[in-house]
Structure 1
Amino acid sequence: MGSLVTEKVSTTILVVAPENVSFNLTEPHGNGTDDSGPSPVALHVGAIVMLLALLWGVFANTLTAVVILTQRDLKNITNIFIVSLCINDIINLSINNLLVLVSYFMMSWSMGEAVCEMVMHFTVLLMGSSLWHTGLISIHRLIVVIFNNFYKTISKKAYMLFVLITARVVPMLFLITPHLGEMSEYQPKLLRCLAHKDHGLYTMLVSVVLMMLPSLILIVCYVAIFVKVHQSSSHFRATRKREWLRREIQITKMFGMVFLLIILGYLPYGVVRFIDRKLEFSADFYVVITVLYAVANSCNPIIYGVMDRKIRRACFAALGLEQRCMKDEKKMKPSESVRSNGEAEPTTEAVPLNGSPAGRPSPQKTSV
């Protein structure tokens, strides 16, 4: 009688299990084989690190965006671009990173296939938006530093709207597909959804349009900027324009660091997935590079604070720590303590990068 009951239970399990095999058989085995999921230790440690990064990222990005939007002297084109990047990071952390974090704590994916595919598409959209932001901002830096006379003739508001809209519209074009909602396959080893092998063209276009193209634009613009600066005359360096140039190059470096941080977050995972198409690498290794991506998503505010004195001061002041900030700045070299990275509209961007008499401003007080 006992064997008969056991046989019936076994038959029931065999019948029911295939219906949910993609999402129920995701418990980590921890046996170290290629077919196993991540170990409990890797998932728990990864989840804790991701939680800390998420809390910091949401707090710091929100603080940065709020102080820029609420303080008149911080409202300029450069800082509006920073706010846009902050919003991108907040959405990414609050949706993608949070759902992956929950799956790591639970050691399985229990939110269904639709949500799993949604996370995949949101990752593509937000990654593409961040990279197109930095690519278009590099064009902005090129125009400001090298073609300043042209920059003074264009509508700043229209130009800003063009950058903010284009940086989001281009990635959203990848949602225009008849296969939307059926493009992913769940991988228990990774506890996440990946683009299905049948959509290789989609994956290739994502790599080319959303990663390679904006990266190429940024590299070309930055090389042109630094070559032009290196070739600028000694007369230019000896005049008051030197301070303007140093500010603009500092801003350019700041966005360059943001770009590098984005790449450091996405590139390792992309390279590993390209090499390991059959998912033969350790599942714990995939946890490590996923956590690296999550941490990188949270670090942009650190760059803004370190490289922009005005933003740093405003953030400390909002937290009631302005005196602490002032003490830290006094420890810097005198030249660093008075340097401002803000884009003061007309005193920083009105100085052309050339030595022509017509382009030289009259001696007047410069906003620092």
Structure 2
Amino acid sequence: MNETRLVTSSDWSVNTTLSNYYQQKNFSNLPREPTRQATFIGAILAIVFIFFGLIGNIILITTILSAKKLRSNIINIFIVSLQFNDLLNIGFNQLFVGLSYAHRHWVGGDLICTLVVYFSTICMGCLLWHHCLIAIHRLIVVVYPNFLRRMSVKTYVIVSLVITRVLPITCCIPSFLTDSIRYSHRALRCSIGNKLQIFINITVLIFLPNVIIIICFIVIFVHVFRATNTTVRTNTNTVSASHSLRREIRITKMFAVLFILFFLGYHPYGFVRAYD
């Protein structure tokens, strides 16, 4: 004989409470997306950054390549290489990131989403190792001028430009082998899920070149300080040697200031992207 069970108000209250609890729990487990205000601000900043970045890089590249005297200088060669790297970063990586902010979702498809992660890592590593090899060159010019005379500048440039590209590409191997790049709803783009890859990015592509740069500039300025004191005491340097030293010191100071500005401006973003 079938029994009929009455649903009391207390049963209905318990069921409603449990239903609301599980709905809230499931909702809390959903990935959080950035707010509309945040994506709007991000899109505006990306547009401004891309616009002025492209114009500035194109003007600088055109100026250097149009003058034979400028494009034959080793420092300018590194600068042009840096600008092409920056064009790739701005014209490809940041463009799609800006579009994702504007649309509040990724618009480039799975392949582009993955490529942006790889290219962002490569551009970041290439940028920092460019600065590192420029600092090493300044160290050789100021501290070891005799070695500079025996060194093949052309070979140094070729090897340096190869290292700045090959090293970051090699560092991407863990992500490529493990297929650990996944879409992040919070970031509105793909991100690295491999902890080994994150560790390599932070140590090899960020920490190591920065340490080398800092050591190079410390050695340079210690050498310059001692050389200046020696010159004051002996007063035997020739005018041409003194002029050459002052010129190299000015160039080195300029790069030191640029690196400090770059360190303060880019590195917080670089660390976040490397961890992301």
TM bucket, shorter chain: 0.7 to 0.9
Q: How does 1:101-180 map to 2 (within 5 A)?
A: 101-177=98-174, 179-180=176-177
The CA RMSD measured in Å over matched residues stands at: 2.5
Which residue of structure 2 lines up, in the alignment, with residue 251 of structure 1? 251
Deviations 1:25-53 (A, max 9, x none): xxxxxxxxx96422222222221222122
Q: Report the CA distance shift for 1:133/1:273 in structure 2 as closer, same or farther (over 3 A).
A: closer
Which residue of structure 1 lines up, in the alignment, with residue 3 of structure 2? none
Q: CA deviation at 1:148?
A: 0.7
Q: Which has the larger radius of gyration?
A: 2
Which residue of structure 1 lines up, in the alignment, with residue 201 of structure 2? 206
Contact preservation (8 Å) 2:33, 2:186: yes
Q: CA deviation at 1:245?
A: 2.5
Q: Report the CA distance shift for 1:263/1:78 in structure 2 as closer, same or farther (over 3 A).
A: same
Contact preservation (8 Å) 1:117, 1:181: no
Which residue of structure 1 lines up, in the alignment, with residue 224 of structure 2? 229
Which residue of structure 2 lines up, in the alignment, with residue 44 of structure 1? 40
Deviates most, 183-192 or 224-233:
183-192
Which residue of structure 2 lines up, in the alignment, with residue 66 of structure 1? 62
Q: CA deviation at 1:243?
A: 3.3
- What is the identity, as a one-letter code, of the residue corresponding to 2:61? A
Q: TM-score when scaled to structure 1?
A: 0.60
Contact preservation (8 Å) 1:142, 1:221: yes
Which residue of structure 2 lines up, in the alignment, with residue 301 of structure 1? none
Which residue of structure 2 lines up, in the alignment, with residue 186 of structure 1? 183
Q: CA deviation at 1:112?
A: 2.4
Q: CA deviation at 1:114?
A: 2.6
- What is the identity, as a one-letter code, of the residue corresponding to 1:143? I
Q: Give the secondary structure class of the aligned counterpart of 2:151.
A: coil
Q: CA deviation at 1:219?
A: 0.8
Q: Give the secondary structure class of the aligned counterpart of 2:119.
A: helix
| Total equivalences in the alignment | 241
Contact preservation (8 Å) 1:137, 1:163: no
Q: Report the CA distance shift for 1:261/1:107 in structure 2 as closer, same or farther (over 3 A).
A: farther
Contact preservation (8 Å) 1:109, 1:192: yes
Deviations 1:259-295 (A, max 9, x none): 3444345432455579xx8x9xxxxxxxxxxxxxxxx
Q: TM-score when scaled to structure 2?
A: 0.79
Judging by fraction of residues, say which structure has more helix.
Answer: 2
C-alpha distance in structure 2 between counterparts of 1:137 and 1:81, whole Å: 7
C-alpha distance in structure 2 between counterparts of 1:176 and 1:35, whole Å: 28
Q: Give the secondary structure class of the aligned counterpart of 1:186.
A: strand
Q: Report the CA distance shift for 1:179/1:86 in structure 2 as closer, same or farther (over 3 A).
A: closer
C-alpha distance in structure 2 between counterparts of 1:116 and 1:257, whole Å: 35
C-alpha distance in structure 2 between counterparts of 1:82 and 1:55, whole Å: 20
C-alpha distance in structure 1 between counterparts of 2:137 and 2:209, whole Å: 13
Q: CA deviation at 1:211?
A: 1.0
C-alpha distance in structure 1 between counterparts of 2:93 and 2:151, whole Å: 38
Q: Report the CA distance shift for 1:143/1:270 in structure 2 as closer, same or farther (over 3 A).
A: closer
Match of 1:85 among 69, 82, 85: 82
Deviates most, 263-272 or 55-64:
263-272
C-alpha distance in structure 1 between counterparts of 2:175 and 2:93, whole Å: 23
Deviates most, 129-138 or 113-122:
113-122
C-alpha distance in structure 2 between counterparts of 1:231 and 1:89, whole Å: 37
Q: CA deviation at 1:105?
A: 1.0
Identity over aligned pairs, percent = 39
Which residue of structure 1 lines up, in the alignment, with residue 241 of structure 2? 241
C-alpha distance in structure 2 between counterparts of 1:236 and 1:193, whole Å: 62
Q: Give the secondary structure class of the aligned counterpart of 1:152.
A: helix
Which residue of structure 2 lines up, in the alignment, with residue 7 of structure 1? none
Unaligned runs of 5+ in 1: 1-33, 280-368
Q: Report the CA distance shift for 1:203/1:190 in structure 2 as closer, same or farther (over 3 A).
A: same
C-alpha distance in structure 2 between counterparts of 1:182 and 1:103, whole Å: 22
Q: Report the CA distance shift for 1:90/1:44 in structure 2 as closer, same or farther (over 3 A).
A: same
Contact preservation (8 Å) 1:117, 1:183: no
Q: Report the CA distance shift for 1:236/1:270 in structure 2 as closer, same or farther (over 3 A).
A: farther
Which residue of structure 1 lines up, in the alignment, with residue 7 of structure 2? none
C-alpha distance in structure 2 between counterparts of 1:168 and 1:97, whole Å: 19
Q: Give the secondary structure class of the aligned counterpart of 1:224.
A: helix
Q: CA deviation at 1:181?
A: 7.8
